[in-house]
A and B are shown apart, each in its own frame.
Chain A
Amino acid sequence: KNQVEQSPQSLIILEGKNCTLQCNYTVSPFSNLRWYKQDTGRGPVSLTIMTFSENTKSNGRYTATLDADTKQSSLHITASQLSDSASYICVVFYGGATNKLIFGTGTLLAVQP
């Protein structure tokens, strides 16, 4: 069964600290994996897109990793800011089509001063 699981479900960190979010998937055939940031009540915004051959991709303070062998991805946030407070969603596309995708349930991150 195709699944995308994220952990932790929620996370509270202090401003300036780093954190790492996890995404495990059992999706086949894998096409690409995307991390999105979703502010409450808003649409998701893309942070990174990673294909099978990519291990690491950065976007400012966000760094995503992908291990296609173990089917795991992580999103590392460096020097967190209050504006990083949001839900972070891992999405796996499969089968080579934009209508074949599975969303994780997200990690809710709260950055406190």
Chain B
Amino acid sequence: TQLLEQSPQFLSIQEGENLTVYCNSSSVFSSLQWYRQEPGEGPVLLVTVVTGGEVKKLKRLTFQFGDARKDSSLHITAAQPGDTGLYLCAGTRVNTGNQFYFGTGTSLTVIP
């Protein structure tokens, strides 16, 4: 059973379009991370959010942690082919140390 559900599971868009990926749970998380993974490689950390309501921007990517720390979103503006990959959210819970719970993943394809 996945604690974190991501939507959509698959997304195919044209270059220049905007998109949002959602990461939802019924559980509260101490922190939440977003990763991008390319085929045959390990996930690469994009951002960590730790405060409810926190918003972080990384160039064209905007990350938000829900006020109740149960959900998060990733918004990409003007998507580029280089954004193609599997996007994963992962959260940590209080008193579980380094046990990260991963979301189901969103596979993004940006068509030139």
Answer yes or no: do A and B interact.
no
B-side residues, CB < 8 A to A, are none
